Amino acid sequence: MAEIAPVDKLMQQIADEYESLSRQLKVIAKYIEQHKSSLILERISDIAAECEVQPSAIVRFAKRFGFSGFSEMQDVFRAAYTSKENGSPNYKQRIRKLIETRDGKLSIGNMMREFVDASRSGLDELAAGLDDAQLEAAVSLLQKADNIYVVGVRRAFPIASYIAYALQHTNKRVHLVSGLGGMYRDQMRSVRERDVVIAISFAPYGKETQYCARIGHHQRAKLLVITDSKLSPLARNAEALLTVAEGSAFAFRSLTSTICLCQALFIALAYKLELDIEETTDPGGYDD
C-alpha cells in the first residue's frame, strides 16, 4: 500500500478535529480544504481577507496542527502540488486570468471554452485526489447491500437520478428518494441495517439530504457520501466518503467530475458483481 502523503495526513487531521475548532478556525479549515492546490501561491493576508479573519488567526490555525507558522504549513502543500503545477497547465489560473484581462464582450465560443476548461480543471483535481481505499470501501458497501437508497436535492438531484438509473442495471434493489410531495420520511421508512444510503450533497448542503442521512444512520444502514469536502456535515457518519471538487466558470459549478465519479463507481460495482457471478455460474454479461 502506498504511503499516505503528508498533505493527506494533514487534511485528515483537520477533518478529525474540525468539530472541536473555533468558528474562525472552521472557516479557515474550509478555505484550505477547498483551495489546496492554489494555497502555495497565496499570501497569508490574501487568505485572511477571503476568510474575513486577522492574519494572526491563520498563524494560530497552523500552530494548532503542529507547525511553527503559516509558511511551514504552506511548505506541505508546496511539496505536494509544485510538481503537478509544473507538469500540466493550471486551467483554473488560465480561466481567472482570461476573465480579468479580456476586453469587450465574450463570444459564445470563448464562453463555451471557459466552461470546458473549468470542467477539465475539475477532472484534473478529481484524478489527483482520488482515494483508492475509499473507492474500494464504497464499492464494497454497494456490493453487500440488500437495498440502495439514493438521495440528492437541487443541484445534486440530477446526479442522484443518474446513479440510481445506472445502478438499476445491476441486480440490486435501488430506490431514488425524490421527496415528491415532501415524502422524504415516508420514502426512507423501510431503510434497514443491511441497506446502503447514498447521500450526495455540496455546499451549502441540502437539509433534506442531511435529514435522510440521519434516518439511515439511525436505522443502522451504511452511509456512502459523495460531497465536496471532508468537512461536510455528512462526512462524520460516512462508512465511505468520496470527495469531488467541481470546476466553475461564471459562478456556475460543473457537474462533470461528479458524473464521472458516479459512472466509474457503477462500472466498478458491475465488474465486482460480474466476478461473483462467474464464480458460481456460467460466464455471462449484462444486456445493454
Instruction: State the average pLDDT over residues 61-86.
Output: 78
Domains within the chain, CATH numbers bracketed = 6-86 (1.10.10.10), 88-129 (no CATH), 132-280 (3.40.50.10490)
Instruction: State the average pLDDT over residues 124-152.
Output: 87
Q: Which of residues 111 and 82 earns the better pLDDT score?
A: 111
234 CB-near residues (< 8 Å, 6+ apart): 199, 201, 205, 209, 210, 213, 223, 225, 227
Q: Residue 253 above 60 pLDDT?
A: yes
| 237 closest CA partner among 19, 11, 7, 14 | 19
Instruction: State the average pLDDT over residues 273-277.
Output: 65
Summary mean pLDDT of the chain: 80
Return the C-alpha cell found at 130.
Answer: 482520488
pLDDT in tens, 35-58: 777 777 788 888 888 888 898 998
